[in-house]
């Protein structure tokens, strides 16, 4: 089902339904939720999804699993084409799918299954080829590795507001003492509370926010040098080293793997 709203098919008597949509640059889907779990796949473009728990960046050829009932908003970094599989809560639990949002890799097989799924009729034949395609799609989602493409958000109100603002304009130049002062906390209280709320030090969180922002910008064709400077890295080499340390490969290679 292309360019369709999942809600229109939510009561379809099938465990899995699929839709495909195209979005213009910088389009935003406001906070919403689905009764079904959603595998949100960026077939082209980069998107960011935000919930009360954190922010997830989805580069091309990766996907985000969003469990049933989770309220989320979606921001398109540029023109984005998506393919989504919606899974009933019962089928998601039976398949052992995660109960928290997570970005997963997308194998060539899963890519092709998602491409095929959107062209199936809403009430596809469960006992025929179409039913086997959807069953295999669920199996393939379950076996995909999880990727470190998220930035957790704290629940403490002052920290949440500060972190959301920093996600909008991330920079390595934002200092701990400045954040503590803006939160109305001592440095020690801020660092302790931040780690308790997010499971990360502020320094590690800031770097993760910068690198995931870089993924969006690089995916839209911006130059590595400009992105590195804007994010407060001293030079492109320092940025590339940090990118490789966290994401396992240099930016150019990572983005190339997104379109392989």
Q: What share of the chain is helix, strand, coil (3-state, %, to 5)?
A: 45, 20, 35
Examine the pLDDT at 260 and tell me if it is beyond 70. no
Examine the pLDDT at 155 and tell me if it is beyond 60. yes
Examine the pLDDT at 193 and tell me if it is beyond 90. yes
Distance CA 5, CA 105 (A): 25
What's the predicted TM-score (pTM) here?
0.90
Query: Tens of pLDDT along 103-151?
Result: 999 999 999 999 999 999 989 999 999 999 999 999 999 999 999 899 9
Contact present, 214 and 254 (Cβ < 8 Å): no
Percent of the chain at pLDDT above 90?
Answer: 81
Q: Which letter does DSSP use for residue 2 in this model?
A: B
Domains recognised in the chain with CATH numbers: 6-147 (2.60.120.810), 153-258 (1.10.10.60)
Report CA 36 to chain centroid distance, whole Å: 17
Contact present, 12 and 87 (Cβ < 8 Å): no
């Amino acid at each position: 089902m292309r360019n369709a709203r999942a809600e229109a098919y939510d009561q379809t008597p099938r465990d899995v339904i699929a839709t495909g949509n195209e979005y213009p640059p910088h389009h935003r889907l406001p906070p919403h939720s689905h009764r079904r779990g959603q595998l949100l796949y960026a077939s082209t473009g980069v998107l960011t999804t935000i919930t009360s728990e954190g922010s997830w960046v989805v580069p091309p050829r990766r996907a985000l699993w969003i469990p049933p009932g989770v309220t989320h908003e979606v921001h398109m970094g540029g023109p984005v084409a998506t393919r989504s599989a919606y899974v009933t809560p019962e089928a998601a639990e039976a398949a052992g799918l995660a109960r928290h949002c997570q970005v997963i890799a997308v194998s060539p097989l899963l890519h092709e299954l998602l491409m095929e799924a959107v062209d199936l009729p809403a009430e596809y034949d469960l006992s025929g080829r179409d039913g086997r395609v959807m069953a295999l799609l669920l199996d393939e989602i379950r076996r995909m590795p999880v990727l470190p493409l998220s930035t957790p958000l704290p629940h403490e109100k002052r920290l949440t507001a500060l972190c959301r603002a920093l996600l909008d304009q991330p920079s390595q130049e934002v200092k701990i003492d400045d954040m503590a002062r803006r939160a109305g906390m001592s440095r020690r209280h801020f660092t302790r509370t931040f780690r308790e709320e997010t499971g990360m030090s502020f320094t590690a969180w800031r770097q993760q926010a910068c690198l995931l922002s870089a993924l969006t910008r690089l995916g839209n064709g911006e130059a590595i040098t400009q992105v590195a400077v804007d994010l407060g890295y001293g030079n492109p080499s320092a940025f590339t080293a940090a990118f490789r340390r966290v994401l396992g490969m240099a930016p150019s290679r990572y983005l190339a793997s997104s379109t392989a």
